[in-house]
Amino acid sequence: VEINGKRIKSQIIKVLQNRGITTKEEIEKFLNPSLKSLHNPYLFEDMKYAVKIIKDAIQNKKRVLIYGDYDCDGVTSTYLLYFTLKKILPVSYYIPNRFKDGYGLNLEILKKLIDSFDILITVDTGISAVNEISYLKEKGKMVILTDHHEPKDVLPKADAIINPKLKGCSYPFKGLSGVGVAFKLLHALKISGLDIKLAELLDVVAIGTIADIMPLVDENRIIARFGLDIL
């Protein structure tokens, strides 16, 4: 079979078709991943609000706390945002202890940290934290929620929710990891004019994506392909 001038063995085509990759365009994208094929991050419904909050924070030197998770996806998500934003913002992070704090936002931890930040950004967590985020809003904090887990019927009242699985979200790829979603936030910030070298971050994104056993198709395949080059 010939695709874009290249001969591809029919056995390979059959394997791809068995996995739902059927058209010539899909096969070409799968076999030859390109950074140009990354989707527009502004297809996330609340992305414009998240970018506005962060750019306002830069201008007014507001303090940001990144709240992550203790697994590999959560740690790489936290590192990704911390490493990038610390160059332009007063930023700190908190990764919960698996045994002492439990999974997700912990209200008691937030109460202890409440005076240390103006904006909370969650990574790989938060989509079920209705009560915890209500507490933060009562205290006058801004909240950007980035997550990839399935939303419940009732959503937290965050200022921006970035999650491809939100009902009605037009983002075309639903299989991102938590670090993949955090990466898309940085992608949007780059488009908005910030000097962020996205390609140099892909090793971290690849580690979290692969460790969280995400399907290596679409954007995840691009992330893994170029992230492994950096590694």
How confident is residue 210, by pLDDT bands cut at 50, 70 and 90?
Answer: very high
How confident is residue 58, by pLDDT bands cut at 50, 70 and 90?
Answer: very high
How confident is residue 24, by pLDDT bands cut at 50, 70 and 90?
Answer: confident
Residues listed for the chain = 231
Question: How far is 161 from 158, CA to CA, in rounded Å?
Answer: 6
User: Which residue in 88, 155, 154, 167 sits closest to 122, CA to CA?
Assistant: 155
Judged against a pLDDT cut of 90, whether residue 8 lies above it is answered with no
Residues contacting residue 133 through CB under 8 Å, at least 6 positions apart? 105, 126, 143, 145, 156, 157, 158
Provide the pLDDT for residue 117: 98
- The answer to whether the CB of 102 falls within 8 A of the CB of 49 is no
The beta strand positions in the chain, using DSSP E, are 2-3, 6-7, 64-67, 91-94, 119-122, 142-146, 160-162
Residues contacting residue 52 through CB under 8 Å, at least 6 positions apart? none
User: Which residue in 217, 212, 211, 203 sits closest to 172, CA to CA?
Assistant: 217
The model's pTM: 0.95
Question: How far is 222 from 227, CA to CA, in rounded Å?
Answer: 8
Span 50-66, mean pLDDT?
Answer: 98
Q: What is the pLDDT of residues 187-208, one digit of tens each?
A: 999 999 999 999 999 999 999 9
Two structure tokens written together for 37: 């094929």
The amino acid occupying position 178 is G
Residue pointed to by tokens 């990354």: 38
